[in-house]
Chains A and B, each alone.
Chain A
Amino acid sequence: MTVWRYARLYLEFVKQVLKVWLEYRVDFFIGALSTIVIQFASLLFVTVVFEHIQQLNGWSFYQILFIYGIAATGRSIHLIFFDNLWTLGWQYIRTGNFDRLLIRPINPLFHLIADRIQQDGVGQLAIGLVVLIVAATHDGTVWTPASLLLLILLILSSGVIFSAVNLFFATLSFWMVDSLPVMFATFSLSDFARYPLTIYNKGIRVLLTWIIPYGFTAFYPAASILEPAKFGLMALITPLVAAICSVLAYLFWNVGLRAYTSTGN
């Protein structure tokens, strides 16, 4: 009942955003284009590296590309739908605008997220899908409807993990006014996760698997499809990791919210 209501409400927010996009078409294309350019730069880096070596720690060019593609699409889900988390500190708490969300008869976290849908993410989604398709048709994987479905589930989980980790660190804003630097520092760790985790030492692997589980945003999902014998189990637990992250982040958000309403701003 509530879920249905929120789904319909979200649709209303989306409608408004689409109207704004249509009104500012040029902005939309420039935004989308700029992310495509940024993506191309890092893809170029991978290509150049593979002009000199055949394999990276046993992973071929297209396999690396496949990991990269999952990371890009997962990240784009986070960028399109959950981008407003970045602005919690400086646009809501610092300015006092957060109070506006608290006097509405809806969940403030929902309101915060629905307040913005990021157009730049569309460019990232587009390039992520292209990379994914190119990689998936060249890396020798045999695709079945079941494995495609699994891939979609894994990518959605990846987006959820990105968003949950960000929510967790955005919540710190309730105590420190603006936790943007902490969010940036954490988020930059996700760059490591665009490459096979097997190339890193144990410390980084443990960090990216069990502490800030960015490993599940790209490498484990990709590896479980590329090498099911060795990493198959990781495919199963990726959605579970996403669910646990979300629950933890939401509980933490509620703690932060309570701290905010008891101390004010």
Chain B
Amino acid sequence: MIRVEHLSKEYKIARRKPGLRGAAQNLFHRTYDTKAAVSDVSFSIDQGEMVGYIGANGAGKSTTIKMLCGILTPTAGEVRVAGIVPYKQRQRNARNIGAVFGQRTQLFWDIPARESFNLLKHIYQIPQHRFDENLRTFSDVLELEPLFGRPVRQMSLGEKMRCELAAAFLQDPLVVYLDEPTIGLDVSVKARIRKFIREMNRNRKTTVILTTHDMQDIEEICSRLIMIDAGRLLYDGDLRSVRQRFGNRRTIHFDLATTATDTAMPAQLAPWVFAEWEGREKVHIQFDARQTSASDVIAAMMQSYAVRDLTITDPSIESIVKDIYERGLS
């Protein structure tokens, strides 16, 4: 469905000289730096796959997605989406794809959602019966009914996102690009959206490419991960091996009530944990849940320090990417 071969994109950035004199020089003589946003990335994705495309901010995720959508022309390499080169036949490619771009709305700001969908029907030339059928199916999962009469600008983030998803799948696209579809949403809306994406994929074999910072999104939606870092492909494979490696990793952040005099870990914890101090009043402790438990770590810490507050977190995408980058996935 999607084939990407040796894809690269370089941006030219004007180098600005400092000061007024520099600004004047820039007017007449500009020097450029080239920044490689994506370098020599290759992968191929079959129909019906659900792929998490992840990386830290600025890793080149959205540049890649833009090239897949036909919004950007690559510097080198080749892209084919359903047999079409997107940047050469942008409008034809647009018929095959749907997209949700985080905070930017695909809907029309001022008009009620129902009318927005209706306009999309005309833009994509969706047959009436198909349009009605899709809206009915989508409404069941996304609970769109109460939103139909309202314009996007009067919607909450969650309501808006439900409509965005419906809009992205409305024209029966072959491929859907979802850029941070759950960012800032509450748990129940997130669950609803994930369910919707899974159902679309199961019933229609829609290929889904998802970029997110939410590990839960990936666990529940994707079966495959493609990771990029600094524009280069870092990992391409199934989710299972990543989960085996990182799925049990926890971090507990401790805020201490007093300044610690000794930064060594309690003896019973030392073999199992990795501690990172932030000054002498904060410490982040990483461990593997199979080797020791959160309750043991907390108990031991409480014994040794005056703990004021603590939070437990799953590993972030950034930390996983960083880890794979530094140590590989073996």
**Most chain A CB inside 10 Å of its own CB: which residue of B12, B71, B72, B118:** B71
Within 8 A of A (CB), among B67-102: 69-73, 87, 90-92, 94-95, 97, 99, 101
**Which of B103-111, B196-204, B214-222 binds A?**
B103-111
Whether A104 is near chain B, meaning CB under 8 Å from some CB there, is yes
How far, in angstroms, from A115 to B110 measured CA to CA in the complex?
A: 11
Q: Is the interface of A mostly helix, strand, loop or mixed?
A: helix
Write the A92-111 contact mask toward B (1 if CB under 8 angstroms, else 0).
00011101101111110000
The residue on B at minimum CB distance from A13 is: B119
Are the C-beta atoms of B122 and A99 separated by less than 8 Å?
no
Whether B8 is near chain A, meaning CB under 8 Å from some CB there, is no
Whether B40 is near chain A, meaning CB under 8 Å from some CB there, is no
**Which of A67-75, A205-213, A241-249, A257-265 binds B?**
A257-265
Q: How far is the CB of A25 from chain B (nearest CB, A)?
A: 15
How far, in angstroms, from A31 to B163 measured CA to CA in the complex?
A: 31
Are the C-beta atoms of B87 and A105 separated by less than 8 Å?
no
Whether B207 is near chain A, meaning CB under 8 Å from some CB there, is no
Whether B124 is near chain A, meaning CB under 8 Å from some CB there, is yes
How far, in angstroms, from A96 to B71 measured CA to CA in the complex?
A: 11
Complex partner residue of A261 from B73, B91, B95, B104, CB under 8 angstroms = B73
Given A13-B119, A97-B104, A261-B87, answer yes or no on A102-B70 (Cβ-Cβ < 8 Å). yes
Whether A12 is near chain B, meaning CB under 8 Å from some CB there, is yes
**Most chain A CB inside 10 Å of its own CB: which residue of B70, B73, B124:** B73
Q: How far is the CB of A119 from chain B (nearest CB, A)?
A: 12
Whether A138 is near chain B, meaning CB under 8 Å from some CB there, is no
Whether B43 is near chain A, meaning CB under 8 Å from some CB there, is no
Whether A126 is near chain B, meaning CB under 8 Å from some CB there, is no
Q: How many A-B residue pairs have CB under 8 A?
A: 68
Given A12-B119, A97-B104, A261-B87, answer yes or no on A103-B70 (Cβ-Cβ < 8 Å). yes
- Chain B residues in 8 Å Cβ range of A107: 91
Given A105-B94, A105-B95, answer yes or no on A19-B115 (Cβ-Cβ < 8 Å). yes
- Chain A residues in 8 Å Cβ range of B92: 105
Within 8 A of B (CB), among A208-265: 261-264
Interface size range on B against A? 20 to 34
- Chain B residues in 8 Å Cβ range of A97: 104
How far, in angstroms, from A104 to B122 measured CA to CA in the complex?
A: 11
Whether B211 is near chain A, meaning CB under 8 Å from some CB there, is no
Are the C-beta atoms of B119 and A103 separated by less than 8 Å?
no
The residue on A at minimum CB distance from B95 is: A105
Are the C-beta atoms of B122 and A102 separated by less than 8 Å?
no
- Chain A residues in 8 Å Cβ range of B12: 263
Complex partner residue of A264 from B72, B90, B99, CB under 8 angstroms = B72
* Chain A interface (Cβ < 8 Å from any Cβ of B): 8-9, 12-13, 16, 19-20, 95-97, 99-100, 102-107, 115, 261-264
7 more A-B contacts (CB under 8 A) besides A100-B105, A103-B71, A261-B71?
A95-B104, A100-B106, A102-B70, A103-B97, A106-B91, A263-B12, A264-B11
A-B contacts, 26 listed (Cβ < 8 Å)? A9-B123, A12-B118, A12-B122, A16-B108, A19-B111, A95-B104, A96-B104, A97-B104, A99-B101, A100-B101, A100-B104, A100-B105, A100-B106, A102-B70, A103-B71, A103-B97, A103-B99, A105-B95, A106-B123, A115-B108, A261-B71, A261-B72, A262-B72, A263-B11, A263-B12, A264-B71
